[in-house]
Amino acid sequence: MRLNAEQQGWLARGLAALNEGDEKRFEDALWLGFGDRWKPLRTALVRNGYLLNGDGKVLALADRGEQLLIKLAREDAKNKSGSIAGLSDSTLNK
């Protein structure tokens, strides 16, 4: 799955919220950025090891998810665009 700059921004905001323990804000960010495709994206993030779904109720960032969040932040800083840019992680499409 290739993400455009706007989608990358929403994903970064969602991951940052989840990193702070706010699963509701994470889901809101995915919904705002991906519309009806937010649930399949969340499922793909879990399936591909970016998120941990411990007991089926609470999501948390896995190490791989933390690395993705750092990558998004670095790309944003490098581009100095004010939005998250540069993510093209084909593993989300598995």
pLDDT tens digits for range 33-88: 999 999 999 999 999 999 998 666 789 999 999 999 998 888 766 665 554 444 44
The pair of structure tokens assigned to 12 is 């970064």
2 pLDDT exceeds 50? yes
60 domain residue, yes or no: yes
Residue 41 lies in a domain: yes
Closest CA to 37 of 71, 3, 60, 13: 3
Decide if 17 is inside a domain.
yes
| Token pair listed for 69 | 């969040």
Q: Is residue 84 part of a domain?
A: no
Count of domains in the chain? 1
For residues 7-29, give the mean pLDDT. 93
Is 59 among the domain residues? Answer: yes
The reported pLDDT for the residue numbered 87 is: 43
Instruction: Tell me what pLDDT residue 55 has.
Output: 66
User: Which residues span the domain enclosing 25?
Assistant: 5-78
